[in-house]
Amino acid sequence: MDMRAIRPAARLSLVVGLSFLSCVLFVFVRLALTGRFAQGYLIWNLFLAAVPIPIAWLGAALSASRKSRAGTVATALVAFAAWIVFYPNAPYIFTDFIHVVRRAGLGSVTATWLSEYDLLWYDIVMNAAFAFVGHYLGLISMYVMHGTMRSLFGRVAGWAMMVPAILLSGFGIHFGRFARINSWDVMVDPARSMRVMVEAFTDPAALLFSLAFALFIALTYVIFYLTKRGEMGKLDA
């Protein structure tokens, strides 16, 4: 077995694990400060944010192991479709800031040396940590999936496939926050998911929300991509 092929995945797994534990620590420190476990949803959402990574890696590995062109393309496209369904969970954590704004059901300060204002700042930093890690994990998965598409279909087609994926992700975040449609709902109840999607396309507020997130994802991915590819003069895409 080629150790060089194992090391990147091992390093990534270590980074993901340490990042996850660091974020969870934020939640338990807050539990000690307030006596209430009110941010369990952040832990669950961060777990979901990591799901696209194994999908992208598995798609890349299976595609590379296929001997026929048809089998490779079919495997890659199935992985790509599955990745699109789960990817919105990564940037979705940014919408959890709504709980910080509303301040409902988050518990009160029990530590005498801490004010409600101090707790607000702590919540902002904690949510930012979860959102950053979740979004960064999503960008890693996008980079891996993009690489698979580029290797199979070429540079132009690879980038062209990312555009609708990013746009759909923006709408996916809207569906999750407002229509409460989860990734598995797309597979279990596709009719309802399609109906909600059509309604979103005719709702100006939904369009603004979705396109704003799509633009944010696109901008951050381009920065991430350029950073990963090295100096701009050495880019091959």
Residue 168, Cβ neighbours under 10 Å: how many?
18
- Distance, in Å, from the CA atom of 116 to the CA atom of 125, rounded to the nearest integer, reads 14
202: DSSP letter: T
Compute the distance between CA of residue 22 and CA of residue 29 in angstroms, rounded to an integer. Answer: 11
Domain annotation covers residue 118: yes
Phi, psi of 36 (to 5 degrees): -135, 130
User: Can you give the pLDDT at residue 7?
Assistant: 67
- Which residues 6+ apart lie within 8 Å of 192 measured at CB? 181, 185
Residue 236 lies in a domain: no
Tokens of 54: 């194994």
Asked if residue 176 belongs to a domain, the reply is yes
Does residue 202 lie in a domain region?
yes
The three-state DSSP-derived secondary structure of 4-20 is HHHHHHHHHHHHHHHHH
Residue 4's pLDDT is what?
52
Structure tokens at 77: 């496209």
Which one-letter amino acid corresponds to residue 216?
Answer: F
Q: Mean pLDDT in runs of 10 for the chain (237 residues)? A: 56 83 93 84 94 92 79 89 95 93 66 79 94 95 94 92 95 88 76 80 91 97 89 50
Residue 152 lies in a domain: yes
Residue 237 forms part of a structural domain? no
**pTM, rounded to two decimals:** 0.86
Q: Is 211 exposed, middle or buried (0-12, 13-18, 19+ CB in 10 A)?
A: middle
207 falls within a domain: yes
User: The domain containing residue 166 runs over which residues?
Assistant: 3-231
Q: Are 210 and 198 in contact (CB under 8 A)?
A: no
Q: How far apart are CA 65 and CA 75, in angstroms?
A: 10
Domain assignment present for 54: yes
- Taking the C-alpha atoms of residue 131 and residue 137, their distance in angstroms, rounded to an integer, is 10
Q: Which two tokens stand for residue 30?
A: 């807050």
Give CA–CA dist 150/30, Å, rounded. Answer: 44
Q: Which candidate, 89, 106, 88, 121, places its Cα nearest to that of 40?
A: 106
Q: Report the number of distinct structural domains present in the chain.
A: 1
